[in-house]
Amino acid sequence: MFIKILGYVLDMSLEKVRSDISDTDSAIIRLIARRQELADEIVKIKIQNGLSVHDENRKVQVLDAVFRQAVESRIDPVAVQEIFSILIAMSEERQHAFSGEGNLP
């Protein structure tokens, strides 16, 4: 009987943690969407100033910063850099689309 009760408690705890993960995933999606909205603002400024969509120096700054933050947070910094490389590529593609150069619908 104790094991079943303990098992039930563990199942409830597992479901709670999974629910928290799902909530976190939803928050991450909202933050990615916000980042994409900011890309629209960035490209407006770049167009006004005759700047290129791709900014290698900024990309390096972002990837260095997230690497350091990942190390400080004790998560895989290389994986975090890969995620942010994808986010940067998404932002650049959105900026290209906004400026009429991209492949997005």
Residues 15, 10: Cα–Cα separation, whole Å? 9
- Classify each residue of 41-64 as buried b or exposed e, where b means 16 or more C-beta atoms within 10 Å of its C-beta: ebbeebeeeeeebeeeeebeebbe
The DSSP symbol for 65 reads: H
The predicted structure's pLDDT at residue 98? 83
The predicted structure's pLDDT at residue 100? 78
Spans in the chain with pLDDT lower than 70: 1-12, 101-105
- Do 19 and 74 touch, CB atoms closer than 8 A? no
Say what percent of the chain tops pLDDT 90: 74
Q: Can you list the domains of the chain with their CATH numbers?
A: 2-98 (1.20.59.10)
The predicted structure's pLDDT at residue 2? 45
Q: Is 95 helix (H, G, I), strand (E, B) or coil?
A: helix
